[in-house]
A and B are shown apart, each in its own frame.
Chain A
Amino acid sequence: KQEVTQIPAALSVPEGENLVLNCSFTDSAIYNLQWFRQDPGKGLTSLLLIQSSQREQTSGRLNASLDKSSGRSTLYIAASQPGDSATYLCAVWGGGADGLTFGKGTHLIIQP
C-alpha cells in the first residue's frame, strides 16, 4: 500500500527566506504527484501537478520537482511571504483503487 511522508511536519521561518518542503512515497508506480495548500478551516487548493513523465513544474514563486525512481518530491518556495502561511500537502495518484494518497502535510508559518 502506498505511503506518503512529509518532512518537516512544521516549519517557521522569517519572511523573505527561500524554503524547501519534502515529500517521499514508497511505491514509484504513480501517474502523477500534486501539491496542495490548505488554509485553516478551508478546503484544499491545488498548487502544482507533476505528471509521472515530468521532472518539475513551476508556478510563480513555486517550483516542484519529482524524482519518481527515488520516490521523492520537493516544493521550493522563493522569497516567502506571510500570506504563504498554510499547511502544504503532497499527494500521489497511483491509479485504480488506490486513488489519491496524501501525506500528513507540513504546517508552514512565515513570520512577518
Chain B
Amino acid sequence: DAGVIQSPRHEVTEMGQEVTLRCKPISGHDYLFWYRQTMMRGLELLIYFNNNVPIDDSGMPEDRFSAKMPNASFSTLKIQPSEPRDSAVYFCASSLVAGVDTQYFGPGTRLTVL
C-alpha cells in the first residue's frame, strides 16, 4: 500500500482565499483523522471520521474550517476564508480501529497564508 496520501504538499496563498487540502487514507481503514501542527501548540486533533461519518469536530478552530469525507477513499479539509494564523502543517492519518490500532500519518501539507 502507498500509505496515506496528501495533496498538495505545499500551499502558499493570500489571506482571504479558499484553501482545500486533500487526503486519501490507507485502503480498508475505517478511521480518518485531521491534525494541525504548529510550533506553539504542537499537534492538535481537528476532526475525525468513522466510516465516512464525522465523530467529533470540537477541535475545529472556527466556522471557517470544514471537513468532508464523501467516500471511504477521500477526504477534504477546507478553510474559507484563510487567515495568516492558519499557517501550519496539516496532517491526515488513518487507522483500522481507533483506540486499538496504530494511526498511520501522511507526509502533511505545509500551508502558508500571506
Within 8 A of B (CB), among A1-45: 31-32, 34, 36, 42-45
B114 in the interface (beta carbon within 8 A): no
User: Nearest Cβ distance between residue A81 and chain B, in whole angstroms?
Assistant: 23
Number of A-B pairs, beta carbon distance below 8 Å: 52
Q: Does the CB pair B108–A103 fall under 8 Å?
A: no
Place the interface of chain B in its size category.
20 to 34
User: Nearest Cβ distance between residue B43 and chain A, in whole angstroms?
Assistant: 4
**Which of A34, A43, A101 is B91 in contact with, Cβ under 8 Å?**
A43
Q: Does the CB pair B104–A46 fall under 8 Å?
A: yes
Q: Does the CB pair B100–A51 fall under 8 Å?
A: yes
CA distance A51 to B105 in the complex (A): 19
Q: In the complex, which residues of chain B have a beta carbon less than 8 angstroms from the beta carbon of A43?
A: 4, 91, 105-108
Q: Does the CB pair B56–A104 fall under 8 Å?
A: no
CA distance A93 to B103 in the complex (A): 10
User: Nearest Cβ distance between residue A67 and chain B, in whole angstroms?
Assistant: 19
- Given contacts A44-B105, A46-B103, A99-B33, whether A93 and B98 have CB atoms under 8 Å apart is yes
Q: Does the CB pair B104–A100 fall under 8 Å?
A: no
Q: In the complex, which residues of chain A have a beta carbon less than 8 angstroms from the beta carbon of B104?
A: 46
Q: In the complex, which residues of chain A have a beta carbon less than 8 angstroms from the beta carbon of B43?
A: 89, 91, 102
CA distance A96 to B56 in the complex (A): 8
Q: Does the CB pair B102–A31 fall under 8 Å?
A: no
Q: In the complex, which residues of chain B have a beta carbon less than 8 angstroms from the beta carbon of A34?
A: 102-103
Q: Does the CB pair B105–A97 fall under 8 Å?
A: no
